[in-house]
Amino acid sequence: MENTFDILVIGSGPGGYVAAIKGAQGGKKVALVEKSELGGICLNWGCIPTKALLKSAELLDDLKHAAQFGIQTGAVSADFAKIMNRSRDVARQNSNGVQFLMKKHKVEVLKGQAKILAKGLVEITTPEGGKQTVKAGAVIVATGASPRQFPQYPIDGKTFVTYRQTLALEAQPKKLLIIGAGAIGVEFAYFFNALGTEVHLVEMLPQLLPIEDEEIAKGLLASFKKQGIHCYVGTQVAETKAGKSGVAARLVDAQKQETKITVDQVLVAVGMVPNSKDLGLEAAGVKTDERSFIQVNGHQETSVQGVYAIGDVAGRQLLAHKASAEAEAAVAHILGLAVQGVDYGQIPGCTYCQPQVASIGFTEKACREKKLDFKIGRFPFSASGKARAIGHTEGLVKLIFGAKYGELLGAHILGCDATELLAELGLAMKLEATYEEVMGTVHAHPTLSESVMEAAADSHGLSPHI
């Protein structure tokens, strides 16, 4: 059977389904190919279900500290099975939402595995093994990425797991080793620790969340240690050995000091690899880099005209909102609209542990490496009336401005609702706002967002509250 479409999208994550909708809104006949659940990894096994888990952990933590707010609750405990089931329910609701959007925008959903045969020609193998050939004026590859596999950590779904197996656990581990302290590792460390698991979090690089600002990372490390999470930075997992009593691990730090621990389970959260295999890319002439990420230009077009790649499979920041932004850029190019591509310097990064971490733009270290002339403003949440009122005084807002023109170079937040507070600073950076404009914007009182205004003022010694 042969079908013809203006745009064929392969993969239905936040990049793929947004591309499909944008194409349909542009008046094109669009098909979306998906071999698994609609919504991709993010909605089904990533962003959304993990946030559901984290909400349960936050609520449990709040209840444990309810007495300081004058609320007597008695003993509280977590039902691990119900927490996990709620997470899966939330994921299903979001996946159903994508299905509704496809119907609303008249996007045809094709179930199966796609393979590019040539420019504008794609073969789809259905779950039943049947094959159909689809013609398309433009093809958008949005197949995402998967956890990196290591031979020394054999993923079996029981002893050694990735984030995906973790989201389907039936029993809570009593002791857990997490290898890798990027966003995935840090979020699961917070979640399991809050539920009472003994957590050991190991990061080979010198700080938690290695891509974040050093000062923010140090603050998170201090908070995690206070919460009881065993953190090892600048440390490698030299050896793991599975046995009847669990997994024995030997950790070695930069000073060659060893720590030996035994855990029930090991969560491997080190790196991702693009889902670029078995797509027929090489035969079709689509170029990839040395790490197998698809190479694209500023409009997300690959080495083959009419074939685009967006999201994790196209490299750079492996973030859902970056994928959606690239989807809009790719479709705009297909539609012939004169818009620029994605500005990767303005992609926000968010980590949803508690305290949360959120950032955009340059870190202080990056500014120094680039030899920029800059000023830094800080405002601790301990000086915020709203933060005291809600009992979340950990962390700070840290803003970096250019010294000559006062433009925002970077924003870094550690604390309650940091991921929500960041949007204002993303807009400020987009509009090239200066410290004076951020400082001069009247912020409602009392709010946590006042800390943004105060940090801007502090960059020039003008904050009235510190």
pLDDT tens digits for range 291-315: 999 999 999 999 999 999 999 999 9
Residue 245's pLDDT band (boundaries 50, 70, 90)? confident
- The per-residue pLDDT for range 10-35, each reduced to its tens digit, is 999 999 999 999 999 999 999 999 99
The catalytic residues are 445
% pLDDT > 70, the chain: 100
Instruction: Identify residue 66 by its one-letter amino acid code.
Output: A
- pLDDT tier at 463, thresholds 50, 70, 90: very high
Residues 29-83 have pLDDT tens digits of 999 999 999 999 999 999 999 999 999 999 999 999 999 999 999 899 999 999 9
- Span 278-285, mean pLDDT? 94
pLDDT value, residue 145: 96
Question: Cβ of 194: how many Cβ atoms within 10 Å?
Answer: 24
pLDDT of 222 strictly over 80: yes
pLDDT band at 371 (very low <50, low <70, confident <90, very high): very high
pLDDT at 1 over 50: no
The answer to whether the CB of 80 falls within 8 A of the CB of 195 is yes
Question: Tell me: the pLDDT tens digits for 105-163?
Answer: 999 999 999 999 999 999 999 999 999 999 999 999 999 999 999 999 999 999 999 99
- This prediction's pTM: 0.95
If you average pLDDT over every residue of the chain, what do you get?
Answer: 96
Dump pLDDT digits (tens) for 398-417: 999 999 999 999 999 999 99
**Confidence label for 339 from pLDDT (cuts 50, 70 and 90):** confident
Question: How would residue 2 be classed by pLDDT, with cut points 50, 70 and 90?
Answer: low
Q: Is the pLDDT of residue 338 over 80?
A: no
Residue 182 has pLDDT above 70, yes or no: yes
What is the pLDDT, as a whole number, of residue 340? 83
- Mean pLDDT value of segment 242-262: 94
Integer Cα distance of 219 and 353 in angstroms? 13
pLDDT at 178: 98
Q: Position of tokens 């035969």? A: 283
